[in-house]
Amino acid sequence: MAIQLENLVQSIKSKVRALKKSKKPYIKMDKSASVRVEIRSRKARKLIDKTLQVADRPGKRVIS
């Protein structure tokens, strides 16, 4: 019984090793143009919001 279990474990280990060597877990995709535009517009919106907050408080002129 123990020998059969050991053989089963060894076969599973070898199959897992073979899978790790043969395939990558995922394919990294490049960002599309629309995603890049969305990221830029979010950054611009944050900058505009910070600027407006500073403009609303005339006593403090620091943009961080």
* Residue-level pLDDT at 26: 64
Distance of CA 14 to the CA centre of its chain: 30
Q: What is the 3-state secondary structure (H, E, C) of 12-52?
A: HHHHHHHHHHHCCCCCCCCCCHHHHHHHHHHHHHHHHHHHH
pLDDT in tens, 19-64: 777 666 666 778 888 888 999 999 999 999 999 988 888 776 666 5
